[in-house]
Amino acid sequence: MPDPRFKILTSASTSGPGDAGRTGSWRVERPVIDMSRCIPAKTGKHACHLCWLLCPDNVVSKDIEPEIDLEYCKGCGICAEECPVQAIEMVPDADFIEGAERE
């Protein structure tokens, strides 16, 4: 069934997420946003959104409090590197495994 949103033809493949599977599993560190520092979250107004603009994988939302889709975030860390106020920290994913022993 051709997708009615397209003005012209579609490819034989179906357009959708996860062509490479759940790419969140490629990650060793995940981005965690500190909302008390993030510019739009702090001011309650749309501003900055650089993490949304520069994320190669389209997993950051353009919301006042940006949300990251960890199912697919590949953990590149570009968002953390480019955030002008260092509101994003890359945290080892292992820290989030329930019951994991931490030193």
Interface residues with other proteins (CB under 8 A) are 5-23, 26-27, 46-50, 52-59, 62, 69, 71-78, 80-82, 90
Taking the least distance from each CB to ligand SF4, the nearer of 4 and 21 is 21
Closest CA to 69 of 30, 98, 40, 38: 30
Residue nearer to other proteins on the CB measure, 19 or 98: 19
From residue 1 to residue 40, the character string flagging contacts with ligand SF4 as x (rule: CB under 6 A) and all else as - is: ------------------------------x-x----xxx
**In the stretch 73-92, what mask flags binding to ligand SF4 with x, by CB under 6 A?**
xxxxxxx---x-x-xx----
Nearest to 65 by CA among 81, 41, 88: 41
Binds ligand SF4 by CB under 6 A, chosen from 9, 57, 93, 102: 57
By the 10 Å C-beta count (0-12 exposed, 13-18 middle, 19+ buried), 19 is classed as exposed
- How far is the C-alpha of 38 from the C-alpha of 17, rounded, in Å? 28
Q: What is the DSSP letter of 97?
A: S
